[in-house]
Amino acid sequence: MELSGLILVLVFFALLAVNVPISFSIGLATLVTMLCSIDLIPAATTIAQRLAGGINSFALLAIPFFVLSGLIMGRGGIAKRLIECAMALIGMLPGGLALVNVLSCTLFGAISGSAVAATSAIGSFMIPQMEKKGYDRNFSAALTGAAATTGMLIPPSNILIIYAIASGGVSIAALFVAGYLPGILVALSLMLVCAGYAKLKGYPTEARLPLKVVVEKVLAAVPSLLLIFIVIGGIIGGVFTATEAGAIAVIYSLILSVFVYKEVSQSQLPEILLKAAETTAIVMLLIGASSAMSWILSYENIPQTISDFLMTLSENPFLILLIINLTLIIIGAFMDMTPAVLIFTPIFLPVATQLGMSPLHFGIMIVLNLSIGLCSPPVGSVLFVSCAVAKTTIEKIIKPLMPLYLAMFIVLMLVTYIPELSEFLPKLFGLY
């Protein structure tokens, strides 16, 4: 087992080091590891079966729907209206533009379900605006990247659906509701850093708008915000499943973007559909390849071995959970969220449950943890988008990113050790 695990890790990271796409790195590492135990034909057949079986899930049908609705809304003028709404509500506070950035990224990330889309859509407008008001460009880029990750916790979130599959049946509805408080806490912690940073640097506040203008801006954003309430309200109320909610989100976003806001023309729809298909294919290939790796991990009894090893390190649950979190943070800095959730959930979830942590609680913890990885160098995809928008480099935004990173880590510790932050709302609505 030790040899198989070592071969798996070495081959995987060696392939990543030479820029082999992560899905192929996962699949090839799995194949090489299998060849240590079985012949080529059975190994290749097993991988093919696991690739197909890994995506053979009704719950995964929600992903292409939410991807498509997010792309439509990303083109549909949603970002502009959310920014104007946030500006009207909190622009006059200390560090107003920075706070607007956080709130806009949070709302747009929740609506689109994509941290990368939130970074691009919000950052392309807010980073230049913040720079005009005297904000440091590198701080603005770091803030946009960090704030965009909150959409991974606030539904609709594709990564929560993937965790539900990987965990073996945690309710998607419960996970969706459980993500609200931690997501809001992350946003508030980033806002506190922004307020302190603005006070320290002496950044100006925005002028207070007349009440009539505030009401107009808020009302203009209401149709966009309604998507969150329609999706989560329908799921909580048992009106439709998460998959059906995805289809409804597509219909709603089409009506809103094409016929209400009129920001998306019918001629643009084929391009959007093609992009949605491309993104879905990438995600599904990652899921299939990760399922194959999860199988070989289970076949070689690696999760149980790691679980036993962690339990022998200490009898202190606080310390073991801290080790798991630090390990996941390192993993998140090098690996995309989807394969990380699919591969490491079967490894660490048994340890967490032995310590008395519920699968629901662990799910929120691992998604929040890996969300931090999205804005962590060297591989954080959100950082690359943010730097591209701000026309800066990752090296330059690391310093202003540190206080934001610390704030997110503190929230991660709170979520890890206070189960009620994840479980209160699902229990309140009778979902858990």
Q: Is the pLDDT of residue 424 over 70?
A: yes
What's the DSSP call for residue 239? S
Using the predicted structure, report yes or no on whether residue 2 has a pLDDT greater than 80: no
pLDDT at position 405 over 90:
yes
Residue 266 banded pLDDT, cuts 50, 70, 90: confident
144 has a pLDDT exceeding 90: yes
Per-residue pLDDT band at 209 (split at 50, 70, 90): confident
- Where would I find the H helices in 202-336? 211-236, 242-254, 269-299, 302-313, 317-332
- d(CA 103, CA 101) in angstroms, rounded, equals 6
Alpha-carbon gap, residue 217 to 97, rounded angstroms: 16
The proportion of the chain whose per-residue pLDDT surpasses 90, expressed as a percent, equals 34
Q: What is the mean pLDDT of residues 147-156?
A: 88
Distance (Å, whole) CA 27 – CA 32: 9
Confidence category of residue 416, pLDDT binned at 50, 70, 90? very high
How far, CA to CA in Å, does 67 sit from each of 57, 59, 277? 17, 14, 9
More confident: 4 or 187 = 187
Question: Residue 116 corresponds to which tokens in the numbers above?
Answer: 């990368």
DSSP 391: T
The tally of domains found in the chain comes to 1
Compute the distance between CA of residue 244 and CA of residue 234 in angstroms, rounded to an integer. Answer: 9
278-315 burial by CB neighbour count: b if 16+ within 10 A, else e? Answer: ebbebbbbbbbbbbbbbbbbeebebbeebbeebeeeee
pLDDT tens digits for range 291-305:
888 888 888 787 878
Averaged pLDDT for residues 60-88: 85
Averaged confidence pLDDT in the chain: 88
pLDDT at 389 > cutoff 80: yes
How far apart CA 345 and CA 352 sit, in angstroms, is 10
pLDDT at position 229 is 84
Res 401: pLDDT? 92
pLDDT digits (tens, 9 = 90+) for 10-32: 998 899 888 888 889 989 999 99
Average of per-residue pLDDT across 239-264: 88
Cα separations in angstroms, 125 against 144, 216, 273 = 11, 20, 25
pLDDT band, residue 432 (cuts 50/70/90):
confident
**Arithmetic mean of pLDDT, 272-301:** 88
Of the pLDDT bands very low, low, confident and very high (cuts 50, 70, 90), residue 271 is: very high
Residue 133 main-chain phi, psi, to 5 deg: -85, 5
Amino acid at 390: A
Would you place residue 246 in the very low, low, confident or very high pLDDT band (cuts 50, 70, 90)?
confident
For residue range 321-348, what is the model confidence (pLDDT) as tens digits?
999 999 999 888 888 888 899 889 988 9
Res. 425: pLDDT tops 90: yes
- CA 363 – CA 369 distance, rounded (Å): 10
Model pLDDT, residue 328:
92
Omega into 64 within 30° of 0, i.e. cis? no
**Burial grade of 200 (CB within 10 A; 0-12, 13-18, 19 or more):** exposed
Domain hosting residue 153, numbered range: 2-428
pTM (predicted TM-score) = 0.89
The pLDDT value given to residue 190: 96
- With pLDDT > 70 as the criterion, what percentage of the chain qualifies? 99
First to last CA, the chain: 37
Task: Say which residue the tokens 């806490």 belong to.
Answer: 185
For residue 115, pLDDT over 90 is answered with no
Cα gap 411→306, rounded to integer Å: 26
Tell me if residue 240 falls in helix, strand or coil: coil
Residue 188 pLDDT level (bands cut at 50, 70, 90): very high
Which pLDDT belongs to residue 1?
Answer: 52
Which stretch, 104-108, 150-154, 301-305, 401-405, has highest mean pLDDT?
Answer: 401-405
